[in-house]
Amino acid sequence: DAGITQSPRHKVTETGTPVTLRCHQTENHRYMYWYRQDPGHGLRLIHYSYGVKDTDKGEVSDGYSVSRSKTEDFLLTLESATSSQTSVYFCAISDRWLGNEQFFGPGTRLTVL
Amino acid sequence: KNEVEQSPQNLTAQEGEFITINCSYSVGISALHWLQQHPGGGIVSLFMLSSGKKKHGRLIATINIQEKHSSLHITASHPRDSAVYICAVRGGSQGNLIFGKGTKLSVKP
């Protein structure tokens, strides 16, 4: 299995609080992605990174920010959590842009009350 | 209309049956991915293809670029194949992945 972990795995928080999710990889892959998965929708890209300090927005980036200060860590921050951000969040990595294989983390289930 | 449509949404099969899951898309693409999401939630990439056919074990993926259609076949299905199978296409201005909603497969012993 690719070395990719997410923390926390589960979190319950209240509306209006900031939340940070962490993705950590040991594969030295250049590209890292944050997706959210919701019932009735396919996975949707929130933000991605193509190198240290290099990030860009995906299709559902409103209300989210990211940071990548080290190759191995990609942080997703919900600046002020809302109930619409209740979701399962997946981190993924690849050695090329959407390369042959993306390796996914185990997911973080976030509930915003 | 969704850019990536999968059919069927749900599929129940008996062990040993040949299974086909379909994916149709409406955008120009450079590649198509098939992924498997286990009941526990983990997601694994199965294939990436841009033409023709690929085979891995009992899994076969085909794509017809002209018809904008791909199929995932599972031969001699087994209960451990029970999962959600997700089609994703690489398209759009940034070349992002656009995901289908998945096909939930249940294989009964």
The answer on pLDDT for B23 being more than 60 is: yes
Provide, as residue numbers in chain B, all residues whose Cβ is less than 8 Å from the Cβ of A45: 96-97
Q: Which of A40, A98, A104 sits opposite B43 (nearest CB)?
A: A104
- Whether the per-residue pLDDT at B96 is higher than 90: the answer is no
Q: Distance (Å, rounded) from C-alpha B27 to C-alpha A47?
A: 22
* Closest alpha carbon within chain B to A56: B94
User: Which H or E element spans position B91?
Assistant: strand B83-91
CB B27 within 8 A of CB B100: no
d(CA B46, CA B55): 10
CB contact under 8 A, A42 and B45: no
Please tell me if residue A87 touches chain B, with a CB cutoff of 8 Å.
no
What does the buried/exposed string (b/e) look like for B14-29 if buried means 16 or more CB atoms within 10 Å of the residue's CB? eeeeebebebbbeeeb
| Res. A22: pLDDT tops 90 | yes
Q: Which of B48, B96, B102 has the CB atom closest to A100's CB atom? A: B48
Confidence category of residue B1, pLDDT binned at 50, 70, 90? low
pLDDT digits (tens, 9 = 90+) for A30-47: 999 999 999 889 899 999
Query: Three-state SS for A28?
Result: coil
Does B106 contact A at CB distance below 8 Å?
Answer: no
Q: Which of B88, B10, B22, B91 is nearest to A104 (CA)?
A: B88
Which chain B residues are within 8 Å of A9, Cβ to Cβ?
Answer: none
More confident residue, B93 or A66: A66
Give residue B30's pLDDT.
84
Percent of chain A residues past pLDDT 70, beyond the cut: 96
d(CA B98, CA B103) in angstroms, rounded, equals: 15
Helix (H, G, I), strand (E, B) or coil at A90: strand
Q: What's the CA angle centered on B21, arms B55 and B40, to 5 degrees?
A: 90
What is the b/e burial string over A7-22, where b = at least 16 CB atoms within 10 angstroms of the residue's CB? eeeebebeeeeebebe
pLDDT for B93 equals: 63
Asked if B5 has any chain A CB less than 8 Å from its own CB, the reply is no
pLDDT tens digits, one per residue of A65-106 = 999 999 999 999 999 999 999 999 999 999 887 666 789 999
Cβ-defined contact of B45 to A43 (cutoff 8 Å): no
**A1 Cβ partners below 8 Å, 6+ apart?**
none
pLDDT at residue B27 in the model? 83
Do the chains contact at A45 and B97, CB–CB below 8 Å? yes
